[in-house]
Amino acid sequence: MLPQRVLPAEHSTGSVSVSANGLVMIRGAVKAVVRLKGEMMCLHFYGALMFATAWCCQLVVSNAQTRPNIVFIMADDLGWADVAFHGGNAPTPCLDRLAKEGLELTQHYVAPVCSPTRTGLLTGRCWSRFGVTTPTNELALPTGTVTLPGALQDRGYDTCLVGKWHLGSLPKWGPNHFGFDHSYGSLAGGISPWNHRYKKGEYSVTWHRNEELIEESGHVTDLLTDEAVKWIRMRDSLPFFLYVPYTAVHLPIKEPDKWIRRAPQTITGNVARQYAACIMHLDDAVGRIISALEHAGVRDNTLLVFTSDNGGSTAENNDLKYPDDNCPNGRLTANNLPLRGKKGDVYEGGTRVPTIVSWPARVKPGKVNNPVHVTDWMPTFCSLADFEPARDLKWDGVNLVPLLLHRVEMSKRPLYTAGPRWRASALRYGDWKLVVTGKDENRNVELFNIATDVNESKNLADTEAHRVDAMLTRLQEAARRDNDALAR
Instruction: List, by residue number, the catalytic residues.
Output: 114, 166
Residue 306's alpha-carbon distances to 69, 224, 309, in angstroms, are: 14, 16, 10
Distances (CA, A) of 285 to 135, 280, 406: 25, 9, 30
Residue length, the chain? 488
Q: In a 3-state reduction of DSSP, which class is residue 20? A: helix
Report the 10 Å Cβ neighbour count for 240: 25
The C-alpha atoms of residue 127 and residue 50 are separated, in whole angstroms, by 49
Compute the distance between CA of residue 371 and CA of residue 103 in angstroms, rounded to an integer.
14
Cα 14 to chain centroid distance, Å, stands at 28
d(CA 299, CA 69): 9
Helix, strand, coil proportions of the chain in percent (round to 5)? 35, 15, 50
Q: What are the DSSP calls for 170-215, one per residue?
A: SGGGSGGGGT-SEEEEESSS---TTT-B-SSSTTSB-EEETTEE--
For residues 222 and 225, give the distance between their C-alpha atoms in angstroms, rounded to a whole number: 5
User: 341 — alpha (psi -120 to 50), left (phi > 0) or beta?
Assistant: left
* Euclidean distance between CA atoms 436 and 471, whole angstroms: 11
Helices (H), strands (E): how many in the chain?
12, 18
Q: Give the C-alpha separation, 63 to 225, whole Å.
A: 29
Mark 56-71 as b/e (b = at least 16 C-beta within 10 Å): beebbeebbeebbbbb
In this structure, which amino acid lies at residue 243?
Y
| CA angle, residues 314, 319, 324, in degrees to nearest 5 | 145
